[in-house]
Amino acid sequence: NPDVTPDAGGSTGGTEKGGTLTILNAASDINFDPAKSQNLAITTLGLVLRRLTTWEVQPGKAAQVVPDLATDTGKTTDGGKTWTFTLKDGLKYADGAAITAADVKYGIERSFAPELSGGLGYHKSLLVGGAEYKGPYSGADLASVETPDAKTIVFHLKTAYGDWPWIASMPAFTPVPKAKDDPKKYSQNPVASGPYQVESYQQGVSVKLSRNPNWDTTTDQVRTAGPDNIVFQLGQDTTVQSQRLIADSGDDRSAFGAGFVAPAQLAQIEQNASAKQRLVTSDAGALSYLAINTQRGPLKDVKVRQAIEYAVDKRAYQVASGGAIGGDLASTLITPGIAGRVDYNLYPADPSGDVAKAKQLLTEAGQSSLKLTLLSENDQPSLAKSQAIQQGLQRAGITVTIKPVDEEAWTAEVSGDKGDYDLTVASWQPDFPSANGNIQPLFASSEIGGGGYNSARYSQPEVDALIEQATAETDPAKAQALWAQADKRILQDAPVVPLTYTKNSFLHGSKVQNFFVPAFPAYPNYLKVSLKQG
Amino acid sequence: MSADTHLAPPAPSRPPSQARSTGARHLWRRLAADRWALAGAGGVAFFLVVAVAAPLLSAIAGQDPYTYDLDALSDSGTPKGFGGGISAEHWFGVEPMTGRDLFAIVVHGARTSILVGAGATAVSVLLGVVVGLTAGFYGGWYDRVVTRIIDVLLGFPYLIFVIALGAIVPTSLPKSLLLVGVLAVFGWPSIARVIRGQTLELKRRTFVLASTALGAGGWHVLVRQLLPNLTATIIVYSTIMIPSMIGAEAALSFLGVGVPPPTPAWGRSIGDAIGWVQTDPMFLVFPGGALFLATLAFNLLGDGLRDAFDPKTRGLRR
Amino acid sequence: MKLLRLVSGRLLSMIVTLLVISLITYVVFVLLPSDPAQLSCGRPCTPERLADARAFMGYDQPWVQQYLAFLGGIFTGRTFGSGAAAVHCAAPCFGYSFQLNESVTHLILERIPVTFSIAIGAAMLWLIIGVGTGVISAVRRGTAIDRAAMTFSTIGVSAPSYLVGLLGILLFGFTLDMVPVNGYVPLTEDPVGWLWHLVLPWCVLALISAAVYARLTRGQMLDVLGEDYIRTARAKGLRERRVVGRHALRNVLIPVVTVFGIDLGSLLGGAVITERVFSMPGLGALLLDAVGNVDLPLIIGVTLFSAFLIILANFLVDLVYSVLDPRVAR
Amino acid sequence: MTVSPTEPRLTKATRSPLLAVAGLAVKFEVDGDTHTAVRDASFALHRGQVLALVGESGSGKSVTAMAALGLLPATARVSGSITLAGTELIGAEPSLLRDVRGGQIGTIFQEPMTALNPVFTIGDQVAEAIRAHRPVTHSAANARVLELLATVGLDDPARVARSYPHELSGGQLQRAMIAMAISCDPLLLIADEPTTALDVTVQAGILDLLRDLRTRLDMAVLLITHDMGVVADVADDVVVLRDGQIVEQALAAQLFAAPRHEYTRALLHAVPTLPELRLDEPEPATPPAHEPRPLDNAAATTPVVLLRNVVVDYPGRRRGRPVRAVDDVSLHIDQGELVALVGESGSGKSTLGRALAGLVPVTAGTVTVAGIEVGNASRRELRAFRSQLGIVFQDPASSLNPRRTVGASIAEPLSLHTDLRGDAQRRRVDELLDAVELPSRLRDRHPYEMSGGQRQRVAIARAIALNPALLIADEPTSALDVSVQARILELLRSLQSQFGFSCLFISHDLAVVEQLADRVAVLHRGRVVEEGPANDVLRAPRHPYTSRLLAAAPVADPAQQALRRAAWRQLTSASS
Ligand SMILES: Nc1ncnc2c1ncn2[C@@H]1O[C@H](COP(=O)(O)OP(=O)(O)OP(=O)(O)O)[C@@H](O)[C@H]1O
Ligand SMILES: Nc1ncnc2c1ncn2[C@@H]1O[C@H](COP(=O)(O)OP(=O)(O)OP(=O)(O)O)[C@@H](O)[C@H]1O
Ligand SMILES: [Mg+2]
Ligand SMILES: [Mg+2]
Ligand code: NI
């Protein structure tokens, strides 16, 4: 194929153009509405929709925030309270219309509409007036987003926020032309600004993307746009997916699975040389942890929680998540791959725990026969992990009852106000690669209940103050030091047991190239995948 | 002949003695003559013994179904060695990802599964037969109400109900009982419908009329006249139901109403093992084989019972 | 005339039954711990936004009111939200799925062909195979054929459908490469492809259910074959095939038809697991998604629809009954 | 064997026989025991000949016939030889048997009510028999069905063809069965008690039909019957069976004239006789006596049973009109009185009996039994009344639960209304079995394992178990040979004198009625056309139908029967 353009990064070889890439998806629906999407910058939506900034993710390198529609990643003049972005020249939608700053503003505004809730909404509480704003459909506009001219957009924040450039990479920062906005249909038929547009959308069956004729490669440094067409096959059973990819025949050679390969299949792939070659495992990324409900009975006692830190059998947990390929043992809250992480271990023990120590701590706390409930999601992998925890604690005389509930109920319990559980196993991948994303959502007291993810229901004024201070810090180095300090401080209270830094494995067909999975985010970078031609 | 001496008025009653024993003995003799049925009965007895003696059996093997043995696993969580880790220590090998002893799991699983499978089946069949019989026999508004209830239950989003239930019931409730209850509630309508349909036909037979004409009350007619003619349906239906109840037990376990892990249950083991069917087939073979054999045993026994109850096959050798 | 009265009577009670089912579903849903508003609140979620989302979807109302609104919508249609983003759902409106941005009626109608293709084909197949096996087993009772068929059906009875589906895919889809592994092709677009994609799901469903029917048929058949009228049929010099296939089978079918009605009815409401394994976008898959997304309108819609089918099937069974068995006819 | 080789034979005997039975033995396995039903039976049947197989109930008549067709249940072991026109039938190929059955041998089964498939119409089932052996079109078959049904004397062939078995009376079913059996003009007709459910007028017609078929088609008939009158009427040869063994084999005329075996003599002796028939014109009909008889000795007892203007309609199927089975009947039965109900087949006798027991709802009128109005009785009243009621259904086979032993069936009323249990109950059951001439070893059998007559006696035993105050007996002796019948009748009589029960006795056997009944009511097309003391009605019938009925009754004497036949012919032609 003559149409080979050398890739800027170069580390994964050139990008061949052409072919139809198939992405196998377990979900039965893809929501292309930027206001409602929680997509990462480098996955599905990134193929169709551009934002102010985006992520440059390369194998072996930490994720970087880079300009997308904007010429840079935003400028601030007042220490992070006001951010200004300028759009590049010659940007067009698929229909040929020009992309304007007003469209970006409109896109942000509509993300405030209750009709379109559901997306990533970090900006909603940061922007001035955001808390009260109810979207553009009632006629009002959001004054804190200014568009002095067609190319410039200015954000006024309530407080200084150093990670705003990351926020600007979220789906809500996609331009939406007001004239084309039909909130009912936008999720299936968005106005494309990226290299692909939605050609056909069949709910539950497939989504076909084809090239956007008006996308200009020169304005875009992150998307390589290799395949001519991309087809998402929806509602695919994960086991069948894996088998198709292992078999690697026909069109499946140009396919990859969007979901993790399950441990059972990992073992199978181990034994299959061809498939093993096509398995891509991320570096250790998201944190999986055991949350201890700090507001419940004996668990209020820090000694008891520390006993649990020692009693947990991390090795069994690791095996339950697929062994070494499933993740590395964890001891900190900030995950590898996040700038400023400091490695330490407050509760040093053998990988399978220190039962004697745990028992001793329990005796000190006066707890001889502890009975706890562990809330677990009811899918097989989650239950396997929960059982590994249960088994570990049992050794120290802690009787754990597993309460399996479905995923939605789990979310509701964990992020709801009641908090009717003692323990739960969770895993957290921040929405943007900053220690802030590691710590704040999980440990700030403001995140207890009401939809927040502080599943340990941990409330420590000292930590809250640290978080506030670190969030406002615009100097990356200083901020990172503060986050590392918070990390350690939190673990002293033992609200969670860090279990593993998980690794996600993905399988792709033999024709798929430039397929890699970084530590953050531990997902394949859709934007650079291409197909071998000929 | 002299009728008057023979036909004295009924003598005063005597306490009931072994009146029914001959019937039972006949049944048993016929059953014993059928070697397939005997095999089935043997199988059922075997599994019952296994279920009762599970702790003993696993103790003999020196194992229990809860202890992890990570040393028996390779780094990726698959059992080391041949046939899913079969060894002198682990007779059936070990469970992938945990290293728990599969023999102990299967043996202990028999408790849950047979209790739940047979229990839920028994309750649903009992309920279904009683409701179906009475509805078909009495008809009228009662039948209409019952039919509607059956329709509601059959058309009911059982999945959602169970999810809700799983979240509502306190963890302290004995889960096996809950499970039996849930399975029975959703299991009886179909058998009730079948029985009702057959009752509608049977109740118009002359022998039922004859019994009514003798002054038999509804209950007597139901139990003594109709029920014996429904045994084939009931037995066949029950034996089919047991394995599906064990399967449903697995599904419900996932939804949070089943016996929570790590309590072993065949249904859940089979569910877990499906994903491993290519990597560690023995993980499926042992619990799956146990379920198959138990099902086979119940079915053979069922077929045998069916035949033993069927007077027309008396004396037939097989 | 009589039939008309029968049908209209049943229709009325059918509506009542559906109302009861929808009501219970609503109540159960209220008990459900998951919060649909929370799911569509986004991340991070603040209490205010949660309240907004809840209000938009109408979940802030007491459930009785929600239920009444739902009932009203069936006759008058409904409008959600207001202004430019308002969503209108025309009568008869069985709700609107906020997750999928589509009216429930539309979603269900779209999925019907898939599920019906699976269900009807499979049902035909299993009825034929199951009843056939049962009949042969009964006629050849005690022989090796009987034993083999019954042992085989034990496998069918005790195997989970997911397992059978998966093994089917592995064997016929990959190892033998005979049929496509998954997906659905509309009949109208490509009849051959349609057939080809459905063969495996049909077989899987058929294998499992046929086993049940085989056992049921065998049991009934053994009963019926001992009746006097079978002797009469033989005395007429009828071929054994006709004696069994007509005189006996007709009497055997009565209970079988009942079970068939129930099974077909619930299968038409969605073959959840099979649709999942074979990635068929049918009603079962839709219901599974709806449950996963706590999408109440969709749950109610699909539930009501499949309940309707089950009740309809039961009604038809009752009609077939009176045709099959004149003694039961009223 | 009592048959000597030098037995005189008909001239036809020189031809080779159509059906030859030699050394036939049939054994049944019952719960591991072996029971011999037929042993070493040999006889031959030629074309155009009617061979009557007579004998005690349970002596193996039906079993012998079924053996020829290969239709015995799987528990039976058959040995010996049965040849049809030289072809061996025992152990024959299925295809051969299939040809033989229906095509060469037509069969009338003993119990028509269970022998027809409940889910197909009569028309269907008869047409099927035709189409199994004749390549005819549907419509041709259907036309032939109507013709056949008319031939067997059914009034409304179209309705019968459309009906399902449960919608017909016993006699109608039996005739449908006969129509089916003769539909393919078989070489041999096996007729197992073909007229048990038929009133004598119809019976006479059927016997005529058989004779006609014999002469026209040179058909052979193996006639199994307990009615010596019928034997006298049509049989050429007679084989007498007892306890599975042939005790005598003779020409009919010979047999009646000079029975050789002691059992045969006893059999003939037991035949009840009718009074001499007065062949003069019936007296001018006076309206039937509806008003109750003046009571003898002022025992101002109200009648036990009082029917007032009873109408019973059966709802029609789908679009059809309802069938009026009983039309404005008023009748009473006094304490200790035995009222016989006679009448044409399908005239509503059984329906009336059922209405009396409250088993079919009456459309109009009232049924009062022992002061209780059956239609409005509460459940408790109904139960109380039924504990005083014994009922024998017309069709014993279907009135016994196939899944229960006959012992259990007989014990049922005992369990229901007495507190007799266990051994005492079993003893009582044995007594009852003995009373109806059944050995007590049959107690643990199922109805299926018994002969027709045995089942009927079980039904009788059940009905009298409680010494009921009212007995409804619907053709209770139809399947019994005369010797057993005589004993059953005697039993009834002695019970009645002992306990004084009232009885509605439905029968087509006028001789029996004559013996037993105090009063007779004649039912015709649902209406009582004549009613009065038995002696009056049977000796001096006032209604032409009654006269015809009397004339049609066969007597067990070939010579006399020939006379009667002629008289009957004359009567029927006169009235038509
Ligand atoms: N269930 C039914 N539905 C419709 N018609 C019926 C039904 N049962 C009986 N009949 C009809 O009612 C009439 C009277 O029947 P019934 O059985 O009382 O006659 P019967 O006098 O007992 O005759 P038989 O001597 O032949 O037994 C017959 O014409 C019969 O066809
Ligand atoms: N299936 C069977 N199993 C066991 N015994 C049977 C079976 N069928 C018939 N018998 C017995 O065989 C004997 C002959 O029965 P068969 O039916 O031939 O009598 P029958 O002469 O026709 O009497 P009836 O005049 O009462 O009909 C009876 O004693 C009966 O109990
Ligand atoms: Mg007989
Ligand atoms: Mg009658
Ligand atoms: Ni005596």
Q: Give which of B2, B5, B7 to mutate to test D binding, by max D Cβ within 10 Å.
A: B7
Least confident of A108-117, B60-69, D45-54, D59-68: B60-69
Give the separation between CA C143 and CA C147, rounded to whole angstroms: 6
Cβ(D451) – ligand 2 distance below 6 Å: yes
Query: Is the pLDDT score of B263 beyond 70?
Result: yes
Q: Which of D156, D168, D522 maximizes ligand 1 atoms within 8 Å of its Cβ, making it the mutation to test the pocket? A: D168
pLDDT band at D15 (very low <50, low <70, confident <90, very high): low
Q: List, as ranges, residues 264-283 from A with C-beta within 8 Å of B.
A: 264-268, 270-271
Mean pLDDT of A277-286: 87
Q: Retrieve residue A466's tokens.
A: 């640290």
Nearest residue CA, atom 17 of ligand 2?
D451
Nearest residue CA, atom 11 of ligand 2?
D450
Residue B24 inside a domain? The answer is no
pLDDT band at D7 (very low <50, low <70, confident <90, very high): very low
Residue B9 inside a domain? The answer is no
Residue B31 inside a domain? The answer is no
Domain extent at residue B293: 39-311
Q: Are residues C176 and C214 in the same domain?
A: yes
The answer for residues whose C-beta is within 8 angstroms of residue A377's C-beta and 6 or more apart is A383, A404, A405, A406, A407, A410
Mean pLDDT of D428-434: 90
Mean pLDDT of C251-275: 85
Q: Retrieve residue B235's tokens.
A: 């037995």
Ligand nearest the Cα atom of residue D54: 2
Q: Are residues C120 and C161 in the same domain?
A: yes
Query: Is the pLDDT score of C101 beyond 70?
Result: yes
Q: Are residues C146 and C37 in the same domain?
A: no
Least confident of A436-440, D28-32, D370-374: D28-32
Q: For B225, name the nearest residue in chain D, comparing CA atoms only.
A: D401
Q: D150 to each of D112, D170, D172, D574, how far by Cα in Å?
A: 18, 17, 11, 20
Residue C228 inside a domain? The answer is yes
Amino acid B153 reads L
Residue bearing tokens 């069922």: B302
Mean pLDDT of A444-455: 87
Q: Give which of C229, C230, C242 to mutate to test D binding, by max D Cβ within 10 Å.
A: C229
Give the pLDDT of residue A299: 92
Give the separation between CA B7 and CA D464, rounded to whole angstroms: 9
Q: Are residues C250 and C217 in the same domain?
A: yes
Give the separation between CA A332 and CA A341, rounded to whole angstroms: 9
Least confident of A221-235, B230-244, B250-264: B250-264
Q: Which of D267, D450, D458, D488 maximizes ligand 2 atoms within 8 Å of its Cβ, making it the mutation to test the pocket? A: D450
Q: Taking chain C, what is the end-to-end CA distance rounded to the nearest angstrom?
A: 13
Q: What is the tens place of the pLDDT at every residue in D450-490?
A: 888 899 999 999 998 888 888 999 988 888 888 888 888 88
Residue B16 inside a domain? The answer is no
Residue B285 inside a domain? The answer is yes
Q: For A261, name the nearest residue in chain B, comparing CA atoms only.
A: B275
Q: Are residues C271 and C131 in the same domain?
A: yes
Give the pLDDT of residue A487: 92
Ligand 4 centre to CA of D221 (Å) is 26
Give the pLDDT of residue D188: 92
Contact D241, D24 (CB under 8 A): no
Asked if A452 is an interface residue toward chain C (Cβ–Cβ < 8 A), one would say yes
- Please, do chains A and D touch (3+ CB pairs < 8 Å)? no
* For the CA of D526, the nearest atom of ligand 1: 14
Q: What is the tens place of the pLDDT at every residue in A31-59?
A: 899 998 888 888 999 999 999 999 988 88
Q: What is the tens place of the pLDDT at every residue in B6-27?
A: 343 443 333 333 334 456 677 7
Residue C262 inside a domain? The answer is yes
* For the CA of D350, the nearest atom of ligand 1: 22
Q: List, as ranges, residues 120-179 from B with C-beta within 8 Å of C.
A: 144, 147-148, 150-152, 154-157, 159-161, 163-164, 167-168
Give the pLDDT of residue D289: 42
Mean pLDDT in chain C?
Answer: 84
Give the pLDDT of residue A295: 92
Q: What is the tens place of the pLDDT at every residue in B53-72?
A: 888 888 887 888 888 888 87
Q: Are residues C85 and C159 in the same domain?
A: no
Give the separation between CA D79 and CA D466, rounded to whole angstroms: 43
Give the pLDDT of residue D200: 81
Q: Are residues C207 and C117 in the same domain?
A: yes
Using the 8-state DSSP alphabet, how is residue A114 labeled?
A: G
Mean pLDDT of C37-57: 80
Query: Is the pLDDT score of A153 beyond 90?
Result: yes
Residue C330 inside a domain? The answer is no
Residue B242 distance to chain A (closest CA, Å): 24
Handedness of CA D197, D201, D207, D208 (dihedral sign): negative
Query: Is the pLDDT score of A13 beyond 80?
Result: no
Query: Is the pLDDT score of D107 beyond 70?
Result: yes
More confident position, D312 or A271: D312
Q: What is the tens place of the pLDDT at every residue in A156-205?
A: 999 888 889 999 999 999 999 998 888 888 888 899 999 999 999 988 88
Ion ligand 5: residues, CB within 5 A, are B 1
Degrees (nearest 5) of the Cα angle D290, D295, D297? 175
Q: Which chains touch B (3 or more CB pairs under 8 A)?
A: A, C, D
CB contact under 8 A, B229 and D403: yes
Give the pLDDT of residue B1: 36
The answer for residues whose C-beta is within 8 angstroms of residue D282's C-beta and 6 or more apart is D540, D541, D542, D543, D544, D546, D547
Query: Is the pLDDT score of D212 beyond 60?
Result: yes
pLDDT band at A466 (very low <50, low <70, confident <90, very high): very high
Give the pLDDT of residue B253: 77
How many beta-carbon pairs under 8 angstroms link B with C? 167
Give the pLDDT of residue C85: 64
Give the pLDDT of residue B5: 36
Give the pLDDT of residue B314: 54
Give the pLDDT of residue D284: 42
Residue B226 distance to chain D (closest CA, Å): 9
Report chain D residues whose CB lies below 8 A from the CB of B309.
403
Partner residues linked to D524 by β-bridges: D527
Give the pLDDT of residue A181: 87
Give the pLDDT of residue D343: 86
Give the separation between CA A292 and CA A298, rounded to whole angstroms: 11
Residues within a 6 A CB radius of ligand 1: D 166-172, 197, 314, 323, 325, 345-351, 394
Give the separation between CA A217 and CA B309, rounded to whole angstroms: 81
pLDDT band at A7 (very low <50, low <70, confident <90, very high): very low
Query: Is the pLDDT score of A80 beyond 80?
Result: yes
Q: Are residues C61 and C143 in the same domain?
A: no
Query: Is the pLDDT score of A259 beyond 70?
Result: yes
Closest CA to C202 of C266, C127, C132: C127
CB contact under 8 A, C240 and D115: no
Q: Retrieve residue D485's tokens.
A: 């019948």
Q: Which chains touch C (3 or more CB pairs under 8 A)?
A: A, B, D
pLDDT band at A495 (very low <50, low <70, confident <90, very high): very high
Asked if A236 is an interface residue toward chain C (Cβ–Cβ < 8 A), one would say yes
Contact B55, B264 (CB under 8 A): no
pLDDT band at A467 (very low <50, low <70, confident <90, very high): very high
Give the pLDDT of residue B217: 79
ipTM: 0.85
Question: Burial of C75 by CB count in 10 Å (0-12 exposed, 13-18 middle, 19+ buried)?
Answer: exposed
Amino acid D87 reads T
pLDDT band at A509 (very low <50, low <70, confident <90, very high): very high
Give the pLDDT of residue D6: 38
Residue B10 inside a domain? The answer is no
Q: What CATH number should be reported for the domain holding residue C247? A: 1.10.3720.10
Cβ(D109) – ligand 2 distance below 6 Å: no
Ligand 3 centre to CA of D517 (Å) is 27
pTM: 0.86
Q: Are residues C145 and C285 in the same domain?
A: yes
Is residue A86 left, alpha or beta, with left meaning phi > 0 and alpha meaning psi from -120 to 50? beta
Ligand 5 centre to CA of D495 (Å) is 13
Closest CA to B260 of A400, A288, C263, C205: A400
Nearest residue CA, atom 23 of ligand 1?
D346
Mean pLDDT of D206-228: 89
Number of domains in chain C: 2
Q: Are residues C120 and C211 in the same domain?
A: yes
A349-378 in b/e form (b: 16+ CB < 10 A) is: beebbbbebbbebbeebebeebebbbbbbb
Residue bearing tokens 């509503």: D348
Mean pLDDT of C80-98: 76
- Chain D residues near any Cβ of chain C (below 8 Å): 66, 69, 71, 73, 94, 98-103, 107, 109, 111, 114-120, 128-129, 132-133, 164, 166-167, 177, 180, 317-318, 397, 448
Asked if C312 is an interface residue toward chain A (Cβ–Cβ < 8 A), one would say no
pLDDT band at A67 (very low <50, low <70, confident <90, very high): very high
Picking from C231, C236, C329, the nearest residue to D128 by CB comes out as C236
Q: Are residues C79 and C112 in the same domain?
A: no
Nearest residue CA, atom 28 of ligand 1?
D346
Mean pLDDT in chain B?
Answer: 81
Q: For C239, name the nearest residue in chain D, comparing CA atoms only.
A: D98
Query: Is the pLDDT score of D576 beyond 80?
Result: no
Q: What is the tens place of the pLDDT at every residue in D490-539?
A: 888 888 888 888 899 998 888 888 888 889 999 988 899 988 888 888 88
Contact A168, A74 (CB under 8 A): yes
Mean pLDDT of B31-56: 87
Domain extent at residue C1: 1-104
Residue B53 inside a domain? The answer is yes
Q: What CATH number should be reported for the domain holding residue B233? A: 1.10.3720.10
Number of domains in chain B: 1
Cβ(D225) – ligand 2 distance below 6 Å: no
Q: What is the tens place of the pLDDT at every residue in B69-100?
A: 888 788 777 888 787 778 888 888 888 888 88
Q: Which of D34, D451, D480, D482 maximizes ligand 2 atoms within 8 Å of its Cβ, making it the mutation to test the pocket? A: D451
Q: What is the tens place of the pLDDT at every residue in B104-135?
A: 999 998 888 888 888 999 999 999 999 999 99
Mean pLDDT of D259-287: 67
Degrees (nearest 5) of the Cα angle B119, B120, B124? 120
Residue B55 inside a domain? The answer is yes
Cβ(D227) – ligand 2 distance below 6 Å: no
